[in-house]
Structure 1
Amino acid sequence: MEDLELVIRPEDYSLLTDLYQLTMTACYVGEKLDQQRASFELSVRRLPKGFGYLIAMGLAQVLEYLEKFQFSEAQISALQTSGIFDHAPEQFWTLLKGSRFEGDVWAVPEGTAVFANEPLLRVEAPLWQAQIAETYLLNTINYQTLVATRAARMRDVAGENATLLEFGTRRAFSPQGSVWAARAALAGGLDATSNVLAALKLGRKPTGTMAHSLVMALNALEGTESQAFTAFHHYFPGAPLLIDTYDTIAAAETLSKQLKAGEIQLAGVRIDSGDLLELSKKVRPLLPEVSIFASGDLDEYRIADLKAKGAQIDGYGLGTQLVTGAPVNGVYKLVEIDGIPVMKEATGKVTYPGRKQIFRQAGVSDRLGLMNEDANGEIPLLQLVFKQGQRIAESETIAQIRDRATKSVQSLPEPARQLENPIAFPVELSHALSELTDRTRQRRHLS
């Protein structure tokens, strides 16, 4: 029978993969290669259009996945019943039954700015384990990195004093995605989320205002828009109010009179439609001490435009453009097998061989080199977070990750941060990596 609930639980993680990860594993077992030590690196070949950097995110969920990785008897039975693996070696099933992740993971800390062709993480493990992890790792890191980067760009444009709220749950790509998006947005620089589940799981207080439906319903059934506001404040004193259901300026004028008369308290008002620039300028003198929030498909470009034109806006509700958009096309490629460096040479998809390290000279340049190279006063970004199947990295709070993201962005040169035609941060190949790339290419052509 179909499972229409389709809820993902930790015990399902091992099957949340593409079929070819399992068929390749069966092949590795049959060819007696499954236990060969392999290294895979996750990187982005090209930044999304208009991006000058990425903010790495999603590592926490990767580590949770690897800690809980296993195949249950029910899952193995379901795979056997499918008929796809009828010709797979018997040892394939034995391997799955005793499965636990046994490898090492190196990763840049969440909140770190990274660039094209730099590994966000590397998995070093028995070939079949490093292979089968690909799908889940790409899913969580690609999406959370996208949202965290958009959040960081919005924060960079809006400034440190603006209040930025994540409102993207209804536009995220799934219920699970909405929770990940809320986490990535907060870690990338936003102040709060309207997603109640995400907020409470992350030890935060959810935030929000109201929808137009409440104003319309109470207006229709109980009297006026003003009475709708009064009713809402009866249960949530001083809460921000959505004032653009009918006439934004008329609503602001009424609230202004009530404030002057001492009849109400008001933390803020939100404008969700119309000309945000002009409306904010007209509302400001009416409500000079009240925070004005704007929402409605806003992104970093729109925020920059509103600020440049003198909009009187104190904060922004950010949804669709934050949690959707051009994807981060991270790839996960084999770079070493049994100590032998390997590389992909397909046109437009070349990868560099060997286990690598990012050496950063803060605010100046990055050097992409091999793991065994000396730092030469630079900062090595990839850190060991999982060793021999055991997690060794301490969990970080959202506040810690957000602080790192803020400092990472601020340390970048202005050309890499600009919204229009950003100039790529310099990433140089080390002499050792260049030589290894040439030798690896020559070896393949001679074989």
Structure 2
Amino acid sequence: MEISKLANPELGLPNSTFLRSPLMTDSYQLTMCYAYWKGGIHLKKASFELFFRKCPFQGEYTIFAGLSNVLKFLNGFRFQESDVEFLKTIIPHAEPEFFDFVRSIDASLLTVTAMKEGTMCFPSEPLLRVEGPLAVAQLVETTLLNIVGYPTLVATNASRIRLAAGKDKSLLEFGLRRAQGPDGGMSASLYAVMGGFDKTSNVLAGQLYGLPLSGTHAHSFVMSFKGLDDVKNAFLKRNATASSTSSSEELVDLKKLVLEKKAQLKIDGTQEGELAAFISYASSFPDAFCALVDTYNTLKSGVLNFICVAIALVECGYPAGSVRLDSGDLAYLSKEAKKLFARYAEISGCAPLKSAKVVASNDINETTLNALNEQKHEIDIFGIGTNLVTCQSQPSLGCVYKLVSLEDFPRIKLSDEVAKTTIPGRKIGYRLFGADEKPLLDLLTQVTGDDGAHKVPKAGERVLCRHPFEESKRCFVVPSHVECLHELVWDHGKCPLKSLPSVEEIRAFVMRQLDNTRCDYLRQHCPTKYKVSLDDEFYTMMHQLLLECTPIPVLDI
């Protein structure tokens, strides 16, 4: 599809080619579309809401993500003639007029209200509200669930890892090779950074999304060198910032200098091929030297070889660099590595060595980070892949897309499981803040009419907040201030937003919310449940409808 044919050329199309076709959906969306049309109800005004029932990872918050791709998907949503021809093979008995209707479908028939991307959200709150003709609003269900579910899961996972690691640590996303296919890998890189990571190793994500990149080397690089004779062209220009009387244009033989430092420090018995690899890598990347030190023996060879190279780099005016631990007892090894840095910094008089960083990888997850914290590790940077991008502890968020209103009449889905009973009606959410300026609860209020009329809670005014399903759970709140959680993001083919926020802006928004949320809501174990409430009028409507729709059983004696 050409960009020039889009409703909003500035929005463009989603990067995934699969999302550029309305056929990326479940077949039952198409069979329902035909049945709606056949029954003559396809143009009825419908409201659907996309939400989730339970926060992931046994936590009590979620980070909403994927909105930019939702808008890009809607921007190019239309059936091409090849799509229509394929539909004829799926529903061969359909009347020709139905396919004329399909040809007329695009997202100019829809409006979408959504949370801001990066918003901290909770169960039962609409992440999106999609409104328009019943058949059309139904057709986008599967794609929207796909676009929102995984990004939200990854962003939430990343934010939890950020909380466990701490604000002062750097987080690198290393998951491309472990992700579920190319689309999973690209999405994971983007939404991991949105959720709190600093950089990614995914080069294509760096190009397409403007993400900061980070990369070092693998064990194969170290194993490629047998001895010092394998080091070729390890010459380095002195950095202009070096405290040396020599010219900054002077070339230094890094191998020779490293061996001099090694002899002065009386470091013996290290693996020679490993040292050769470090010298070669440092001469290639003197400003960002990071040595993978566990190929042979972490403390007796890898770290000591790194120290020799790091001291030589500092003498040439470059940073000392960092070591990467990829196996073993990470807490113990990080502490021992820092001890060696401090010891040889004193022996050599190379003060910057004491500040060399420790990077750790090796299947790290949120639980591992909490355990490392208890062991008082001294790791500065974490590289996390598999457990981040696969969301190993919970691989799916479980978003749902439910009809909540038809022709402005609320609709409710009942269930023997209370958690699966939907909250009927079009709704909008508000976050109510306490005197400490931290969130107290979220309040949902009913939207009525085409003008979006609804009750708006106001700062300083008392409001009754009720649990959606438990009558006795209620409270009065006098908020210090109130924030609306939803805004119109798609209006009959146009995006009213002035611009979409950048990845950096969304990441900063996520971090601000985490900083401003009570710790007991964020903790890994037994977090406090955050309240999502209804105002009194909305609660009354819902329970009247619930009674009207619940069959009264007849008991035979």
Superposition TM-score, scaled by structure 2 size: 0.76
Q: Which moved more, 1:216-225 or 1:96-105?
A: 216-225
| Partner SS for 1:15 | coil
Q: Which moved more, 1:383-392 or 1:8-17?
A: 8-17
1:56 equivalent in alignment to 2:60: no
Deviation at 1:259, TM superposition (A): 2.9
Q: Which residue of 1 aligns with 2:490?
A: 386
1:278 equivalent in alignment to 2:332: yes
1:154 equivalent in alignment to 2:230: no
Q: Aligned letter for 1:442?
A: L
d(CA) in 1 for partners of 2:405 and 2:494? 22
Cα deviation digits, residues 296-344 of structure 1 (max 9, x gap): 1111221122122111100101111111231211111010011111011
Q: Equivalent of 1:304, from 370, 378, 388?
A: 370
1:411 equivalent in alignment to 2:516: yes
Give the gaps of 5 or more residues in structure 2: 1-14, 231-271, 342-353, 434-438, 448-453, 460-481, 553-557
Q: Which residue of 1 aligns with 2:382?
A: 316
Q: Which residue of 2 aligns with 1:420?
A: 525
1:70 equivalent in alignment to 2:175: no
Q: Equivalent of 1:356, from 409, 427, 430?
A: 427
Q: Which moved more, 1:37-46 or 1:370-379?
A: 370-379
Equivalences for residues 32-431 of structure 1 within 5 A: 32-80=40-88, 82=89, 84-101=90-107, 102-219=109-226, 222=230, 224-237=273-286, 238-249=288-299, 250-261=301-312, 262=315, 265-287=319-341, 288-324=354-390, 325=392, 326=394, 327-348=396-417, 349-362=420-433, 363-371=439-447, 372-377=454-459, 378-393=482-497, 394-431=499-536
Deviation at 1:17, TM superposition (A): 0.5
Cα deviation digits, residues 415-434 of structure 1 (max 9, x gap): 11011111111222221221
Kindly report the root-mean-square deviation, in angstroms, between the aligned alpha carbons of the 2 structures.
1.9
Q: Which of structures 1 and 2 has the bigger CA Rg?
A: 2
Q: Which has the higher contact order (CA 8 A, sep 6+)?
A: 1
Give the gaps of 5 or more residues in structure 1: 1-6
Cα deviation digits, residues 99-139 of structure 1 (max 9, x gap): 21121111111111111111111111111221111111111
Contact 1:27-1:88 at 8 Å conserved across structures:
no
| Partner SS for 1:218 | coil
Q: Aligned letter for 1:242?
A: L
Q: Aligned letter for 1:226?
A: L
Q: Which residue of 2 aligns with 1:3?
A: none
d(CA) in 2 for partners of 1:424 and 1:120? 19
d(CA) in 2 for partners of 1:98 and 1:116? 35
Contact 1:71-1:96 at 8 Å conserved across structures:
yes
Q: Aligned letter for 1:291?
A: K
Deviation at 1:265, TM superposition (A): 4.9
Deviation at 1:75, TM superposition (A): 1.4
- Change in 2 beyond 3 A, CA 1:244/1:446: closer
Q: Which moved more, 1:436-445 or 1:66-75?
A: 436-445
d(CA) in 1 for partners of 2:371 and 2:336? 18
d(CA) in 2 for partners of 1:148 and 1:228? 36
Superposition TM-score, scaled by structure 1 size: 0.94
Contact 1:157-1:300 at 8 Å conserved across structures:
yes
Deviation at 1:375, TM superposition (A): 2.4
Deviation at 1:11, TM superposition (A): 7.2
| Partner SS for 2:48 | strand
Q: Aligned letter for 2:159?
A: A
Q: Which moved more, 1:363-372 or 1:68-77?
A: 363-372
Deviation at 1:14, TM superposition (A): 0.6
d(CA) in 2 for partners of 1:159 and 1:124? 41
d(CA) in 2 for partners of 1:11 and 1:113? 25
Deviation at 1:380, TM superposition (A): 1.5
Identity of aligned residues (%): 35
